[in-house]
Amino acid sequence: MSSKYLIFLGCAIPYRVSSYEISARKVLAKLGVELVEMPEFNCCGLPLDPVSHEMMLILAARNLALAEQRGLNIMALCPGCAGTLKKVNKILKEDKALREQINGHLKEAGLEFKGTVTTKHLMQVLIEDVGLEKIKSAVVKPLTTLKVAEHNGCHILRPKEYIGFDDPEDPQTLKTLIEATGATCLDYMDETECCGAPSVGVSDKVALQLARDKLNHVKMVDAQALITICPFCHIMYDTNELRIEKMFNEAYGIPILHYPQLLGLAMGMSPDELAFNELRVNASKLLTQVTEGAK
Amino acid sequence: MTETATTKEPNREPIKASEIDPKFKYELSRMHGSEKILRCFQCGTCTSDCPVARYSETYRPRTIIRMAQLGLRDRVLNSDTLWLCAACFTCTDRCPQDIEVASVIRVLRNLAAEKGCVPIVFKEQAASVLESGYAYKIPDLRIKKRETQGLPPLPKGNPESIRKTLKGVKFLENVEKKGEQQ
Ligand code: SF4
Ligand code: SF4
């Protein structure tokens, strides 16, 4: 099945997580998902929801209206963006009065929200559009020697009323996708726990302690890497791992990989192509093992 | 380390009758997201499952809900701890009374922000969206680097159009005013 989406990058990815974008684009191109760039961009609205729900609704609706004009559905790499666009689409379709209010704002710029497009996160596109069978058949270098752990993050699953994808208490999709690469996905304590990223800047102490718990639990089961599908979760673990090690006198050395990096390796792409060089936590040990394992 | 939100101790003074706004809870129950606040029976599920409450000595979602129900408008809205919620939505998904707890917190934050009680980071992000469409200022270096990384050019924001659609948003008046003062 061929599929075509407007790719919604969000703010965090171009700001500091380009390895996620690079690897996702590579993998999707090879799996036959066609991506079209957004004609113009504004923030999905989520970061402003705490201070103005109205502003969030307008920003999200503006993006949906732009996508409607292009007649294409949206694929977001960031679960926060995907969740926000999904949620606002649902709210505005169901609440006529609110829709009229928001459309009053959009009209000022010649735009209108109609509710004719849908939004999916990358992971949903992989499992629902590409499908597990196609992914498995694209794997040419199965990562059978690898044992990793997954971190879904919150916004890909919650609040379940609006997201309606997988089970937030015991999610399976990412595990299934990881195992499709041939790697083993380990279970560990408090798998669905928040990474803490939204608390950075308000209380770094709380945020870093949450990230530390996660890394401790992942270390307990001897996972060789932690796999994420969210730019914020990735920043929280990859960018902060060294800082957490220093602050709490811990030693982890656990590389944090974006799922498309893992899949890309299994599809035979090189670490350079998949932007492994952009990771803060060195993954060379894992990469050596993967290349030797494939010989 | 930034510790802006936990430095200030929460107000533990005895409650005075004059502090109570008995209509606050009804006001909240008419707002989008906090409609069901009256249903809270203080079971404590939200606090016990809250990741932030585990490491913060002051942040307790159940307490915030109770204070709001009691009508302690100013105490709730002036409280720094309000800004600690990580919006993970665990409480919303687990509340046995089906209250969107995280959204109640968000409604309270919105009210606080309208009064001008808001961490600076949110004002910066709002200003950045008005200026470029992006919540963070993407460094030029990053934008140029995309080409060497084999990435397509970054879609541009349309600040003029964004500003038009955001006309009348209360919080932004606040951002612009405060911005001038600083
Ligand atoms: S979980 Fe729901 S009912 Fe229980 S204390 Fe929290 S808000 Fe109230
Ligand atoms: S959404 Fe906020 S209050 Fe609710 S559990 Fe998460 S951090 Fe705690």
Q: Give the pocket of ligand 2 (CB within 6 Å).
A: B 46, 49-52, 61, 85-91, 101-102, 105
Whether B181 has a pLDDT exceeding 70, the answer reads no
Q: Do A15 and B2 touch (CB under 8 A)?
A: no
Calculate the average pLDDT of chain A: 95
Give CA angle at A169 (A166, A170), nearest 5°: 65
Quick check: A199 and A207 in contact, CB under 8 A? yes
Percentage with pLDDT > 90 across chain A:
92
Whether B6 has a pLDDT exceeding 90, the answer reads no
pLDDT band for position A294 (cuts 50, 70, 90): low
In sequence order, what are the beta bridge partners of A256?
A226
Q: Which two tokens stand for residue B103?
A: 């959204």
Query: What's the CA gap between A101 and B168, in Å, rounded?
Result: 12
Give CA angle at A188 (A281, A216), nearest 5°: 45
- Report the pLDDT averaged over residues B84-97: 96
Instruction: With CA atoms as reference, report the closest residue to A150 among A120, A195, A109, A93.
Output: A195
- Report the pLDDT averaged over residues A172-187: 97
For residues B177 and B35, the model is more confident at: B35
Q: Which two tokens stand for residue A84?
A: 């926000």
CB-based contact (8 Å) between B34 and chain A? no
The dihedral built from the CA positions of residue B123, B127, B133 and B136, taken in this order, carries a sign that is negative
Instruction: Please report, for chain A, the start and end positions of each structural domain, with discontinuous segments joined by +.
Output: 3-122, 132-293
Separation of CA A38 and ligand 1 centre (Å): 41
The pLDDT, as a whole number, for residue A293 is: 64
pLDDT band for position A2 (cuts 50, 70, 90): low
Q: Do A42 and B89 touch (CB under 8 A)?
A: no
The pLDDT, as a whole number, for residue B180 is: 45
Instruction: With CA atoms as reference, report the closest residue to B170 among A83, A44, A48, A100.
Output: A48
Residue identifier of the C-alpha nearest atom 5 of ligand 2: B50
CB-based contact (8 Å) between A289 and chain B? no
Instruction: With CA atoms as reference, report the closest residue to B1 among A13, A235, A244.
Output: A244
Q: Considering only CB atoms, which chain A residues are within 8 Å of B121?
A: 201-202
Whether B65 lines ligand 1, by a CB cut-off of 6 Å, is: yes
CB-based contact (8 Å) between B10 and chain A? no
The pLDDT, as a whole number, for residue B1 is: 37
Look up residue A119 and give its DSSP letter: E
Quick check: A156 and A79 in contact, CB under 8 A? yes
Best residue for ligand 1 mutational test, from B28, B38, B40 (most atoms within 8 Å of Cβ):
B40
- Report the pLDDT averaged over residues B8-35: 89
pLDDT digits (tens, 9 = 90+) for A192-250: 999 999 888 888 899 999 999 999 999 999 999 999 999 999 999 999 999 999 999 99
Q: b/e map of A8-35 (b: 16 or more CB within 10 Å)?
A: bbbbbbbbbbbbbbbbbbbbbeebebeb
Least Cα separation, residue B160 to chain A (angstroms): 9
pLDDT band for position B7 (cuts 50, 70, 90): very low
Q: Considering only CB atoms, which chain B residues are within 8 Å of A203?
A: 2-6, 56, 84
For B92, the closest of A39, A158, A194 (CB atoms) is A158
H-run or E-run covering A151: strand A147-151
B14-114 under CATH 1.10.1060.10, yes or no:
yes
Evaluate if pTM is beyond 0.90: yes
CB-based contact (8 Å) between B42 and chain A? no
Q: Which two tokens stand for residue A51?
A: 């201070």
3-state secondary structure labels for all residues of B9-72: CCCCCCCCHHHCCCCHHHHHHCCCCCCCHHHCCCCCHHHHHCHHHHHCCCCCHHHHHHHHHHCC
A132-293 under CATH 3.40.50.11810, yes or no:
yes
- Report the pLDDT averaged over residues B102-110: 97
Of the CA atoms within 13 Å of residue B92, those in its CB half-sphere come to 25
Q: Which two tokens stand for residue A52?
A: 């103005």
Query: What's the CA gap between A247 and A243, in Å, rounded?
Result: 6
Quick check: A250 and A216 in contact, CB under 8 A? yes
For B149, the closest of A22, A109, A159 (CB atoms) is A22
Class at the top of the CATH hierarchy for domain A3-122 = mainly alpha
pLDDT band for position B3 (cuts 50, 70, 90): very low
Quick check: A153 and A191 in contact, CB under 8 A? no
CB pairs under 8 A between A and B: 198
The dihedral built from the CA positions of residue B21, B110, A231 and A102, taken in this order, carries a sign that is positive
**Number of the ligand closest to the Cα of B46:** 1
Whether B2 has a pLDDT exceeding 70, the answer reads no
- CB contacts under 8 A, B 61-80 vs A, are none
pLDDT digits (tens, 9 = 90+) for A260-284: 999 999 999 999 999 999 999 999 9
Asked which of A76-85, A159-168, A231-240, A243-252 is least confident by mean pLDDT, the reply is A159-168
Query: What's the CA gap between A115 and A106, in Å, rounded?
Result: 14
Query: What's the CA gap between A207 and A245, in Å, rounded?
Result: 14
Q: Which two tokens stand for residue A183?
A: 């790697």
Whether A115 has a pLDDT exceeding 50, the answer reads yes
Query: What's the CA gap between B40 and B65, in Å, rounded?
Result: 8
Same fold, A3-122 and A132-293: no
What is the DSSP annotation of A69-92? HHT--EEESSHHHHHHHHHHHHHH
Query: What's the CA gap between A213 and A190, in Å, rounded?
Result: 9
Look up residue B159 and give its DSSP letter: H
- Report the pLDDT averaged over residues B117-146: 93
The pLDDT, as a whole number, for residue A291 is: 82
pLDDT band for position B177 (cuts 50, 70, 90): low
Separation of CA A164 and ligand 1 centre (Å): 22
- Report the pLDDT averaged over residues B102-129: 94
Q: Considering only CB atoms, which chain B residues are within 8 Å of A49?
A: 87, 106
Q: Considering only CB atoms, which chain A residues are within 8 Å of B88?
A: 154, 158, 194, 198
Instruction: Please report, for chain B, the start and end positions of each structural domain, with discontinuous segments joined by +.
Output: 14-114, 120-177
- Report the pLDDT averaged over residues A38-51: 95
Whether B57 has a pLDDT exceeding 70, the answer reads yes
Percentage with pLDDT > 70 across chain A:
98
Whether A73 has a pLDDT exceeding 60, the answer reads yes
